[in-house]
């Protein structure tokens, strides 16, 4: 016979064990082993008043943010709804069945206030890095660095051509943040070139056409990763231009050494990090081998001799041309000393006009100039070292390993769904990038370190 559903009746008492209803292989159960928030309250205590009504537990909000970024829940309103109905989320947040979920507006108030002022999200991220080091997931011998563009939360149609068209700083928080970072080497001070457009809602976001897509406003997230297991050891938010990414690389290397005592033997990066000054900083100031392509514009398209056809004599400080003649910085003695180095850090080596006039190779060397000239950077020694490294087998291995950081960016945008920011301004970008990197490190540990049988739910 056909069965009929009985109407559920409210019971007077329930016996419900939340621990038993979270699967043993659930991602949050594995991540929970590595979440240490014991120091959060003490870190935030100076930012709370000693009187008044008790606030929402900051550890609860941090755990909810970890859930959001680990599970790709970008909306805070939706995050609160999911924590309310999802048993695993409640278990991770230590809420139980009767615990109240805070309102979504609470996150905005704390993010723009206590969390940002105390830099607690940076501390949270560094806690995960320290745990990765303790678990043996960080080798510390080789690092890789790269940056990726993330769209800002602005409408490209709402933009102005000049700063005069922005709202009054007295009434616009976004404009005040923009003015505050104008001299920061990672944002406004990265380049003297003014942007083509400024977003009214977020002027610090950079108008960029660096990708194949239509131009858009963006920030850049920069990762410094350890090559052993692709653990993110540092993250930095910058404006969306290459000069700022080089600045971020230096900051991350120094901060990693200061916080964790990690000093890599080699650094892997793309050609954007291969300018002469940066290579010199790595080699001469930090003692790091640059496994980086040299940024070189000496190639010629008119079939004349390139700079590589001229050999440099270190002992004599001169270049030798294909005809065997020497190019020197000075062919005669001046009464007054003249600077050897120009404002761009370049040395000029010139051939004698008499040698060039009598040379049979002049049509292939300098057909439109009276004598050949060679430019050499004051940091050419570091560039030569990078070129020598590029001929080794270790360099080929490093080029393959560099894909690990690109895979992290793909994971960031496709799995964690951070292809567009939700917070605005440089501080908002920092907060989002720190939380995303924290989530990626936690997921990395959960994947690489298996759960023990004794940790399974009873």
pLDDT in tens, 189-213: 888 888 888 999 999 999 988 777 7
pLDDT of residue 458: 43
3-class state of residue 367 by DSSP: coil
- Residues in contact with 69: Cβ distance below 8 Å, sequence separation at least 6, in sequence order: 416, 435, 436, 438, 439
258: containing domain: 124-295+387-448
- Residue with token string 């680990």: 70
96, pLDDT greater than 90: no
How many structural domains comprise the chain?
Answer: 3
pLDDT of res. 10: 59
**Same domain flag for 198 and 255:** yes
- Residue 393 CA to residue 252 CA, distance in Å, equals 27
Considering the domain architecture, whether residues 396 and 267 belong to the same structural domain is answered as: yes
- Give the separation between CA 203 and CA 425, rounded to whole angstroms: 8
Q: Which H helix or E strand runs over 223?
A: strand 216-226
Q: What is the H or E stretch that residue 376 is in?
A: strand 373-377
The mean per-residue pLDDT over the stretch 385-397 comes to: 94
- 454 is a domain residue: no
Instruction: Answer yes or no: is pLDDT of 121 > 80.
Output: yes
Same domain, 225 and 204: yes
Which of these, 223, 260, 235, 24, lies nearest to 132 by C-alpha position? Answer: 260
H or E element, residue 178: helix 173-180
Assess whether pLDDT exceeds 90 at residue 122. Answer: yes
The token pair that represents 71 in the structure block: 């599970």
Residues 6+ apart with CB under 8 A from 110: 56, 58, 61
Q: What is the pLDDT of residue 419?
A: 92
Span between the terminal Cα atoms of the chain, in Å: 39
pLDDT of residue 335: 55
Rounded-to-integer distance, Cα 368 and Cα 306, Å? 15
Which of 83, 118, 153 is the last residue in one of the domains?
A: 118
**Domain end: 320, 346, 371, which one?**
371
Of residues 196, 194, 188, the one with CA closest to residue 219: 188
Whether 285 has a pLDDT exceeding 90, the answer reads: yes
Rg of the Cα trace of the chain? 29
Helical axes 173-180 vs 425-448, angle rounded to 10°:
80
Domain for residue 10, yes or no?
no
Per-residue pLDDT for 11 more than 60?
no
pLDDT band at 8 (very low <50, low <70, confident <90, very high): low
Residue written as tokens 């990726």?
148
What DSSP state is assigned to residue 284? I
Determine the pLDDT at residue 333.
55
CB 412, CB 432: distance < 8 Å = no
Quote the percentage of the chain above a pLDDT of 70. 93
> What's the rounded Cα separation, in Å, for the pair 270 and 278?
12
Inside any domain, residue 8: no
Same domain? 61 vs 77: yes
- Give yes or no for a contact between 41 and 30, defined as CB atoms under 8 angstroms apart: no
| 45-75 per-position pLDDT tens digit | 877 777 777 777 888 889 999 999 999 998 8
For residue 58, the model assigns a pLDDT of 83
Beta-carbon contacts of 142 under 8 Å, excluding residues fewer than 6 positions away, are 226, 227, 228, 264, 265, 266, 267, 268, 291, 398, 401
Residue that finishes a domain, picked among 371, 399, 414: 371
Q: Helices in 196-309 by DSSP H: which ranges?
A: 242-260, 276-280
Assess whether 90 and 153 both reside in one domain.
no
Same-domain status, 138 and 106: no
Q: Is residue 48 part of a domain?
A: yes
Is 50 exceeded by the pLDDT of residue 81? yes
Residue 370's Cβ-side half-sphere holds a number of Cα atoms within 13 Å equal to 3
Beta partners for 150? 219
């Amino acid at each position: 016979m056909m069965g009929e559903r009985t109407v559920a009746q409210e019971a007077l008492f329930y016996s419900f064990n939340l621990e038993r209803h979270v699967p043993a292989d659930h991602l949050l159960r594995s991540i929970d082993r590595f979440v240490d928030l014991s120091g959060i309250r003490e870190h935030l205590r100076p930012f709370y008043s000693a009187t008044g009504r008790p606030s929402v537990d900051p550890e609860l909000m941090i755990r909810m943010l970890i859930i959001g970024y680990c599970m790709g829940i970008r909306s805070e309103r939706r995050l609160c709804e999911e924590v309310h109905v999802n048993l695993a989320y409640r278990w991770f947040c230590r809420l139980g069945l009767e615990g109240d979920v805070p309102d979504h507006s609470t996150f905005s108030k704390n993010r723009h206030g206590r969390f940002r002022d105390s830099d607690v999200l940076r501390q949270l991220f560094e806690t995960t890095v320290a745990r990765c080091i303790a678990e043996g997931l960080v080798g510390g011998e080789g690092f890789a660095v790269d940056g990726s563009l993330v769209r800002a939360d602005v409408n490209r149609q709402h933009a102005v051509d000049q700063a005069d068209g922005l709202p009054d700083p007295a009434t616009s928080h976004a404009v005040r943040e923009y003015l505050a970072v104008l001299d920061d080497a990672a944002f406004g001070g990265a380049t003297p070139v003014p942007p083509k457009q400024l977003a009214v809602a977020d002027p610090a976001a950079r108008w960029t056409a660096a990708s194949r897509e239509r131009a858009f406003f963006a920030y850049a997230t920069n990762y410094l990763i350890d090559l052993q297991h692709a653990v993110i050891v540092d993250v930095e938010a910058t404006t969306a231009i290459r000069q700022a990414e080089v600045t971020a690389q230096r900051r991350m290397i120094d901060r990693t050494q200061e916080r964790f005592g990690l000093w890599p033997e080699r650094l892997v990066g793309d050609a954007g990090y291969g300018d002469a000054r940066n290579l010199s900083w790595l080699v001469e100031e930090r003692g790091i081998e640059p496994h980086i392509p040299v940024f070189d514009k000496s190639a010629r398209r008119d079939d004349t001799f390139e700079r590589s056809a001229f050999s440099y004599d270190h002992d004599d400080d001169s270049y030798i041309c294909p005809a065997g003649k020497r190019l020197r910085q000075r062919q005669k003695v001046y009464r007054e000393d003249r600077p050897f180095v120009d404002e761009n850090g370049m040395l000029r080596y010139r051939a004698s006009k008499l040698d060039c006039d009598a040379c049979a190779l002049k049509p292939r060397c300098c057909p439109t100039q009276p004598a050949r000239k060679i430019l050499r950077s004051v940091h050419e020694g570091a560039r030569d070292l990078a070129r020598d490294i590029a001929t080794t087998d270790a360099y080929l291995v490093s080029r393959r390993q560099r894909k690990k950081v690109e895979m992290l960016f793909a994971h960031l945008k496709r799995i964690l769904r951070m292809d567009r920011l939700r917070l605005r301004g440089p501080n908002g970008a920092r907060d989002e990038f720190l939380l995303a990197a924290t989530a990626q490190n936690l997921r990395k540990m959960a994947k690489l370190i298996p759960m023990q049988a004794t940790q399974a739910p009873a």
